Amino acid sequence: MIELNSTDNQIKQLKEKIVSKIRHPFLVKFIQEPVIDEDKLVLLSSIMDHTRLTAVKKEQYIVTTMLVQIALDTHDLVTLTDEEDDRETVRNRQLTVLAGDYYSGLYYYLLSELDDIPMIHTLAGAIKEINELKMELYYKDVESFQEFLNGLKKVESLLIQRVASYVQKSAINDMAGDWLLAKKLMVEKRSYLEGKFSPLIDVLMNRQGAHGSGQVINNIERMLQNHLIRLETSVSQLPIHFNWLKSYMHSSIHHQFNQTQIAEEG
């Protein structure tokens, strides 16, 4: 059990705890280990720091919520294509689905140990809503670029916000939503500029009114410039007891933004 206090060392310990839960010797042989979203881990830890929950419950809430996030992210890695795939591609796809199911089972197991039915309902409700939002974003037409961004923002932040509301610590919900959307856009933009496939940009390019990648990148860049200014202000306005989070956020914003600029210039 980790005594929570959001510092670099405590975040490192939580990451190690999560890795120990998700590492499976069979899956490791065939698919890449899942990436733990450190920003979401930091947000969760900061939320739990300011509750009256026991240290054991705080840790279990964080670990189980991150397992939910990892399961959702892993299922997103499953490639869907109309082209004929070779046997190895099909096997990797099947194993990725299996891995997502495995991580889902882990968080239900941990929550059953916690004996917390309301928390299970909170996470299950968030999963259902996130999956419905993803279907609308990627398989249905949306009226505008802004509407698409609003939906993406919900997908990225809804899990954290639901947990924060459950423990009655929703003061950082708006900031969390703004940051997680900005981070998603920066990561996808950087990936595209580095010549990698970006599912998000691919979807936006195929929307009505999007005339090539240049327009999409320009739209994202314009939104990011305005968004980051607003985000810096909202971070600065966080209550004083979130000082460690404020410091982390300012550093993370500049780090992510500078990485994107370097990729663009390169």
- List the alpha helices (DSSP H) in the chain: 8-22, 25-30, 38-49, 55-76, 87-114, 117-139, 145-166, 173-193, 199-205, 213-236, 243-265
Measured distance CA(142)–CA(242) in Å, rounded: 36
* CB distance 262 to 186 below 8 Å: no
pLDDT of residue 216: 77
Residue 128: CB atoms within 10 A of its CB come to 10
Q: In Å, how far from its chain's centre is CA 121?
A: 20
Measured distance CA(185)–CA(118) in Å, rounded: 33
φ/ψ (deg, to 5) at 123: -70, -40
DSSP secondary structure string for all residues of 209-253: T--SHHHHHHHHHHHHHHHHHHHHHHHHTS-GGGHHHHHHHHHHH
Reading the chain (266 residues) residue by residue, the pLDDT tens digits are: 555 555 778 888 999 988 887 776 655 565 567 778 999 999 999 999 889 999 988 998 998 899 888 888 776 665 444 344 566 555 565 666 666 666 667 767 766 776 788 888 898 899 889 989 988 887 776 677 788 888 999 999 999 999 999 999 888 898 999 999 988 888 888 888 888 777 777 777 776 455 566 777 887 888 888 778 888 888 888 888 888 888 888 888 777 666 555 545 55
pLDDT of residue 29: 60
Nearest to 228 by CA among 185, 171, 193, 262: 185
pLDDT of residue 83: 45
Residue extents of the structural domains in the chain: 1-265
Question: Which residues, in sequence order, are CB contacts of 217 under 8 Å at separation 6+?
Answer: 189, 192, 193, 201
pLDDT of residue 257: 65
pLDDT of residue 89: 58
In terms of C-beta density within 10 A (0-12 exposed, 13-18 middle, 19 or more buried), how is residue 81 classed? exposed
pLDDT of residue 45: 93
Q: Given CA atoms 102, 39, 93, 138 in this order, what sign does their dihedral have?
A: positive
pLDDT of residue 169: 87
Task: Look at the pTM and tell me if it is higher than 0.75.
Answer: yes
pLDDT of residue 162: 96
Name the CATH superfamily housing domain 1-265: Farnesyl Diphosphate Synthase (1.10.600.10)
